Structure 1
Amino acid sequence: MSRILVTGADGEIGRAVSESLVAAGHAVTALSLSFASPHPADRLIEGDATSPEVVDRAMDDVDAVAHFAAIPHPSLGTPIDVFRVNTAATFTVLTRAGERGVRRAVIASSINAIGYPNNPHGAFPPAFPLDVHTPPDIADAYSLSKLVDERTAAYAHRRYGLDVVALRFPLVKWPDVLRDAARDVQDDPARLAREGWAYLTMHDATRAVQRALDAEVVGAPVIPLSAADTLLPVDSAELVARYAPGTVLSRPVAGRDALVDTSAARDLLGFEPSESIHDGTATERASLMRSKR
């Protein structure tokens, strides 16, 4: 059994990851500004992930880190606050982990690290599927913070030898919430065109984190994630042609295939998405997990 520090542990993904790690037999130290309800971790620490003293206390006996503490959307703070909190938390957590001899960390990056989803100028990516080589076009503080977080991961590996996997999450929710989102997007598909209508179920997100913690990965790879399909029940090439006409397909896309290249997740982590909101399995699994909360 290993002990894993989960920061942002009372957030939606942080709590789900904590539950999955405990279920897998790990001990969990949970760090959060506060806890709104009982938490599965055996160690709870209330405090700010930007505080070196708080983070250092949370690192006691820790073997690995799963870092989710952040302001998760640009609308939830001023640009200065969003950038400051997100980048300071990641720098503090990875620095303290490296100084304490922790050898593995996973951080929550975002599809927003390329800048297009929240770009106020309406910029579109030059090509789909999106991948680690998609050139960023960033004009908002949240997207900038996520790109900086990825560079901080590379710094932490170079300075401390800390292996850090940066997972570029798309929209991650429980399947019933994703189904509601899909219905809303059907009324205006252009809304999510710049991120390729990408999503990932919460169950698959927690699996990806576990694989990133366990896989023998060296360095600080950036790994895009997505379900195997898109939010909309429409052929992907048709979506691109209709709602992103200036964006090319860099390779053929069959049927409703995802418009995010997830080959790095498969090759480096041995991870492939197992759930789609367009079948019944994801809903049943999510309902079962949520009933235990």
Structure 2
Amino acid sequence: MTISRVLVTGAAGRIGRAVLARLAEQGVAAHALVLDDPGDLAADRVFTGSAADPARVRTALDGVDGVIHLAAIPTPERNEALEVFTANVSATFAVLEEAGRAGIRRAVIASSYAATGLPFARTLLHPAYVPIDPAMPTEIEDPYALSKQTDELTAAMMAHRHGMTVVALRYPFVGGFDERLPGWAAKIAERPELGARDLWSYLETGDAARAAHLALGAPVSGAPVFYVAAPRTVVPYSTAELLDRFHPGVPRRADLPGRTVPIDLRPAREVLGFTAAYELDLGD
């Protein structure tokens, strides 16, 4: 499937800027929808306004044949719970509804590893099994996780409603090699319990953008959900030892040698053609 012009919502964010750069490298035109124009976005056209505003989305979709929806409040920790939930789900509904009405047949949305419910829970929860996959039961107790699960349900509804394909990518902790990833890795290496909620997973920003671009053209239909992450954990310890220590008794459905991340990345590799290209050098 060939996409020639893409609307990127949340284009001024960390992943959004990387997506714009990726699209430019691949010769794909881009529209950007942002709350405020920072003046330096690598997009053909920049539209300001909320992704939850159907009229602004409709305008930004003019001439577009694909959508990458990234606009969201990215954590439940800095905004009121109702604001986090309603802002995120309203934006996803508006973007996909307007895209479907415009005849657009391919969209990619940023879901999150947090859809499991593990990262922002009040206490350390344990996955039902590892490696985790989209079929694993969730343990949601925060508004951000609920918003992402709702986004995935919205994607499934829109696929039926409009006959479109909406790919949801469950991103882990995302950052670049400037300071964000190395700083986080150093902190987790010193205190590995801080990474237990995320299963010590991460993804480099450029890889996050490449996954979104690949999902635009992948041979899929409906509303599939994929985990994307670096294939090895962010800490220089064996995964088996980490699981024994922080998630004891959790069933293991596959071997996890060395620093293998306990997330099932095979569907992303086999269906999307995505394997992370960038990994932290932890000296092993």
Partner SS state of residue 244, structure 2? helix
Aligned partners of 1:90 and 1:149 also within 8 Å: yes
CA deviations on 1:74-125 (whole Å, 9 max, x unpaired) are 1131100000000000000000000000010000000001101111133211
Partner SS state of residue 77, structure 2? helix
Whole-angstrom CA distance in 1 between matches of 2:224 and 2:122:
28
* Residue 75 (structure 2) pairs with residue 73 (structure 1): yes
> After the TM superposition, which of the residue ranges 122-131 and 218-227 deviates more from structure 2?
122-131
Counterpart of 1:190 in structure 2 is 193
Whole-angstrom CA distance in 2 between matches of 1:101 and 1:76:
36
Counterpart of 1:115 in structure 2 is 117
Q: Give the unaligned 5+ runs of structure 2.
A: none
CA deviations on 1:200-234 (whole Å, 9 max, x unpaired) are 11121111111101112111100011101000011
* Residue 253 (structure 2) pairs with residue 253 (structure 1): no
Q: Which has the higher contact order (CA 8 A, sep 6+)?
A: 2
Q: CA deviation at 1:250?
A: 1.9
Aligned partners of 2:236 and 2:282 also within 8 Å: no
Match 1:226 to one of 226, 229, 249: 229
Counterpart of 1:262 in structure 2 is 265
Whole-angstrom CA distance in 2 between matches of 1:119 and 1:36:
34
CA deviations on 1:16-39 (whole Å, 9 max, x unpaired) are 101110121011000000122411
Whole-angstrom CA distance in 1 between matches of 2:238 and 2:122:
27
Letter in 1 for 2:150: V
Aligned partners of 1:117 and 1:192 also within 8 Å: no
Letter in 2 for 1:40: A
Runs of 4+ in 1 over 3 A off after TM superposition: none
Whole-angstrom CA distance in 1 between matches of 2:197 and 2:50:
33
Match 1:62 to one of 44, 61, 64: 64
CA deviations on 1:228-256 (whole Å, 9 max, x unpaired) are 10000111111111122242322111111
Aligned partners of 1:106 and 1:209 also within 8 Å: yes
Whole-angstrom CA distance in 1 between matches of 2:77 and 2:18:
23
Counterpart of 1:152 in structure 2 is 154
TM-score, normalized by length of structure 2? 0.96
Aligned partners of 2:32 and 2:47 also within 8 Å: yes
Counterpart of 2:132 in structure 1 is 130
Counterpart of 1:286 in structure 2 is none
Counterpart of 1:211 in structure 2 is 214
Residues 36 and 246 of structure 1: CA distance in aligned 2, closer, same or farther (over 3 Å): farther
* Corresponding pairs, count: 280
Match 2:54 to one of 49, 52, 55: 52
* Residue 78 (structure 2) pairs with residue 87 (structure 1): no
Whole-angstrom CA distance in 1 between matches of 2:152 and 2:225:
7
TM-score, normalized by length of structure 1? 0.93
Aligned partners of 2:235 and 2:282 also within 8 Å: no
* Residue 75 (structure 2) pairs with residue 40 (structure 1): no
Q: Give the unaligned 5+ runs of structure 1.
A: 281-293
Letter in 2 for 1:44: V
* Residue 19 (structure 2) pairs with residue 17 (structure 1): yes
Question: Which structure has the highest helix share of the two?
Answer: 1
Letter in 2 for 1:94: L
Aligned partners of 1:204 and 1:273 also within 8 Å: yes
Aligned-residue identity in percent: 44
Whole-angstrom CA distance in 2 between matches of 1:193 and 1:240:
8
Whole-angstrom CA distance in 2 between matches of 1:194 and 1:160:
36
Aligned partners of 2:110 and 2:171 also within 8 Å: yes
CA deviations on 1:177-211 (whole Å, 9 max, x unpaired) are 21110101122211121221000111211111111
Aligned partners of 1:50 and 1:85 also within 8 Å: yes
Partner SS state of residue 112, structure 1? helix
Aligned partners of 1:125 and 1:194 also within 8 Å: no
RMSD: 1.3
Match 1:199 to one of 178, 197, 202: 202
